[in-house]
């Protein structure tokens, strides 16, 4: 280069991580301290809506990130161990508001009588709360007087092994303090500003002793649609009906009057589904409302130990129901059934299992010649037992990964099982302590999963964008806000701290980024019952900080890049300012 007779000085100017060299004479003014960023940004273009999301995107809303007025200053760590690369212009999907739903049940009190629970549900805002529960949905009479089932509902039902047992029906008019009535379910939704998903009683179509049990069960479902009067858009016919644990899987054919087989099949369920759907849609039409009705589907390829019903369920369903379902429902509990799985095994499942599940569902539909429709993960959790895995910090990380992977694989909704359950020596799927947890833990104290899901959603934008990691132990989920910021959720699956650099392409970063750090405590080995948020801990033996809503994020200058340290088996949720 020519000097034109002057002394040359070389100045390095960094634009969004790219170094440019400029030359100037000694008497040339130095560049301003904050030069204009000339980085070329490819604009975002929303992809075509995935058919597996479909109408679950209908109530999508843009999100604007509010720059925190209160924060704790923090400096950049050193010693980067891995790198996350985000392409903000590459939109994977718009994020449905239903992506982090949950499940209520009818043994968790009247809910509206529990102000702490109502406050937590309002704050968390899962958007969709399913009701009345899992398998008990097939024993549920939503409008029957307490302990007075319909006259054609038998006193005893047949188990898979052929034994007859007391039916144990549930009733939606029950106002006892230990259960939840239909009306108080609706009241809870109204008070917490959430929406519902209702599972109607399919089992009654099988075990009913009337002349036309299917018509009776379908009419019961249609009557609920009328009573609901448009408050609920999403409805399911039955719960896991392919399973030999469900009411109606096996019936006493001596009591049946319409020639049904002893064992349920996917074909019969599909044929019955059409009858349910016709009755329910007619009811919705009569009151001028639109509803969507989902069918139960098996989530994975058949295993050698499955029953004939489960093995042939999907092919029979598609033949019997045809195009009648509006969407399909799968459930998954990810880890091997009732094994004392390690943290590594648990955290290794969300990525592989979620992708495999969606691929199987889509291929099954394609093989049957069925047009792809929305798919939801109506229940999920882990089956691991023996070390308090279910109530642990690790299960909180697992939940966030399931939601992130469900977004990547374009599910329309997820529904975590469940809000409250039973301690069972720490094998409790409940997000909250229902009141039976030991060690002086108060009723409705949130488990670690609550905090992981709350802060994840707080720092999640309205579009998922692509991100890649150069370390298998660090998982990332990146998003963009309509207001211009970029969010990144970072999960460290390993037992060692990870120091991670985040590079965002097609983005003009602003001056700062804000972040929250979550990690387990030192109790109970690798399955801590605690979670710390920016160092703030619970005052009880489990859970997280009571003042979580007012914890200020860390704030770090972005001038020298985006770098954070993620604790072992912890998470960092960050949002980067726009320029």
Residue-wise pLDDT tens digits, 150-203:
999 999 999 999 999 999 999 999 999 999 999 999 999 999 999 999 999 999
> Mean of the per-residue pLDDT values for the chain?
94
pLDDT at 264: 98
CB 537 within 8 A of CB 458: no
Residue, of 32 and 115, whose pLDDT is higher: 115
Question: Which pLDDT band, with edges at 50, 70 and 90, does 40 fall under?
Answer: confident
Domain boundaries, the chain: 71-93+464-578
State the pLDDT confidence band at 7, using cuts at 50, 70 and 90. very low
pLDDT at 333: 98
Q: List, for residues 208-229, the tens digit of each pLDDT value.
A: 999 999 999 999 999 999 999 9
Please determine, for residue 5, whether its predicted confidence score (pLDDT) is greater than 60: no
* Closest CA relative to residue 327, chosen from 56, 80, 49: 56
Q: Which residues contact 571 (CB under 8 A, 6 or more apart)?
A: 397, 400, 452, 455, 456, 489, 490, 491, 492, 517, 518, 519
CATH of region 71-93+464-578: 2.60.40.1180
| Separation CA 100–CA 413 (nearest Å) | 7
Predicted local confidence at residue 406, as pLDDT:
98
Give yes or no for residue 8 having a pLDDT over 60: no
With a cut of 60, say whether residue 15 has pLDDT above it.
no
Average pLDDT score over residue span 269-280: 98
**pLDDT tens sequence across 463-488:** 999 999 999 999 999 999 999 999 99
pLDDT given for residue 529 in this prediction: 98
Give the β-pairing of 463-469 and 82-94: antiparallel
Instruction: Name the residue among 425, 432, 437 with its Cα closest to residue 541.
Output: 437
Residue 294 CA to residue 187 CA, distance in Å, equals 24
Tell me the C-alpha distance between 300 and 286, whole Å: 38
pLDDT tens column, 79-91 = 999 999 999 999 9
How many percent of the chain have pLDDT more than 90? 93
Strand residue runs (E) in 417-530: 463-469, 474-480, 486-492, 498-505, 509-520
Structure tokens at 383: 């089956």
- Pick from 480, 411, 490: which is nearest to 51 by CA? 411
Query: Among residues of the chain, what percentage have pLDDT more than 70?
Result: 93
Checking if the pLDDT of 370 tops 70, the result is yes
Whole-number pLDDT of residue 3 = 32
Q: What is the mean pLDDT of residues 130-147?
A: 98
Which has the closest alpha carbon to 267: 216, 308, 215? Answer: 308
What integer pLDDT is reported at residue 34 of this predicted model? 41
**3-state SS, residue 222:** helix
Mean pLDDT of the region 121-149: 98
Tokens of 474: 């660090």
- Asked whether 570 and 557 are in contact (CB, 8 A), the reply is no
């Amino acid at each position: 280069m020519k000097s034109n007779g002057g002394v040359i000085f070389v100045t390095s100017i960094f634009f969004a991580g790219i170094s440019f060299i400029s030359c100037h004479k000694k008497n040339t003014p130095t560049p301003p301290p904050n030069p204009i960023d000339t980085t070329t940004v490819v604009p975002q273009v929303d992809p075509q809506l995935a058919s597996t999301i479909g109408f679950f995107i209908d109530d999508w809303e843009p999100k604007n990130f509010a720059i925190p007025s209160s924060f704790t200053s923090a400096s950049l760590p050193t010693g980067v161990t891995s790198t996350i690369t985000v392409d903000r212009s590459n939109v994977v999907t718009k994020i449905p508001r239903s992506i982090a739903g949950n499940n209520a049940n009818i043994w968790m009190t009247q809910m509206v009588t529990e102000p702490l629970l109502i406050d937590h549900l309002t704050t968390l805002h899962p958007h969709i709360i399913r009701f009345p529960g899992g398998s008990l949905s097939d024993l549920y009479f939503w409008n029957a007087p307490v302990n007075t089932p319909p006259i054609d509902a038998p006193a005893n039902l047949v188990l898979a092994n052929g034994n007859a047992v007391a039916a144990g029906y549930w009733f939606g008019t029950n106002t006892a303090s230990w259960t939840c009535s239909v009306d108080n379910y609706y009241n809870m939704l109204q008070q917490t500003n959430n929406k519902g998903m209702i599972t109607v009683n399919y089992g009654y179509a099988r075990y009913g002793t009337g002349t036309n049990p299917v018509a009776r069960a379908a009419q019961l479902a249609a009557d609920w649609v009328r009573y609901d009067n448009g408050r609920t858009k999403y409805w399911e016919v039955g719960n896991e009906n392919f399973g030999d644990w469900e009411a109606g899987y096996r019936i006493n054919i001596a009591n049946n009057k319409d020639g049904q087989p002893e064992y349920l099949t996917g074909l019969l369920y599909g044929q019955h589904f059409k009858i349910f759907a016709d009755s329910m849609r007619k009811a919705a039409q009569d009151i001028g409302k639109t509803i969507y009705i989902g069918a139960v589907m098996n989530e994975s390829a058949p295993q050698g130990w499955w029953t004939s019903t489960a093995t042939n369920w999907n092919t029979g369903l598609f033949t019997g129901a045809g195009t009648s379902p509006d969407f399909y429902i799968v459930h998954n509990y990810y880890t091997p059934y009732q094994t004392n799985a390690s943290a590594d095994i648990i955290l290794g499942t969300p990525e592989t299992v979620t992708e495999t599940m969606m691929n199987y569902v889509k291929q099954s539909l394609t093989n049957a010649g069925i047009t792809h429709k929305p798919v939801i993960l109506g229940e999920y959790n882990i089956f691991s037992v023996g070390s308090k895995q279910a109530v642990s910090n690790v299960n909180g990380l697992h939940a966030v990964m399931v939601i992130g992977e469900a977004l990547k694989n374009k599910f329309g909704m997820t529904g975590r099982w469940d809000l409250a359950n039973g301690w069972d020596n720490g094998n409790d799927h409940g997000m909250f302590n229902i009141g039976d947890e030991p060690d002086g833990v108060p009723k409705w104290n949130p488990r670690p999963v609550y905090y992981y899901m709350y802060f994840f959603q707080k720092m999640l934008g309205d579009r998922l964008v692509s991100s890649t990691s150069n370390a298998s132990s660090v998982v990332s989920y990146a998003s963009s806000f309509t207001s211009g910021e970029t969010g990144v959720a970072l999960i460290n699956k390993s037992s060692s701290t990870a120091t991670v650099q985040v590079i965002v392409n097609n983005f003009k970063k602003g001056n700062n980024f804000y972040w929250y750090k979550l990690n387990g405590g030192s109790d109970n080995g690798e399955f801590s019952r605690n979670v710390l948020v920016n160092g703030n801990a619970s005052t009880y033996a489990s859970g997280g900080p009571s003042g979580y809503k007012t914890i200020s994020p860390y704030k770090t200058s972005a001038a020298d890049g985006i770098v954070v340290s993620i604790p072992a088996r912890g998470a960092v949720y960050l949002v980067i300012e726009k320029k």
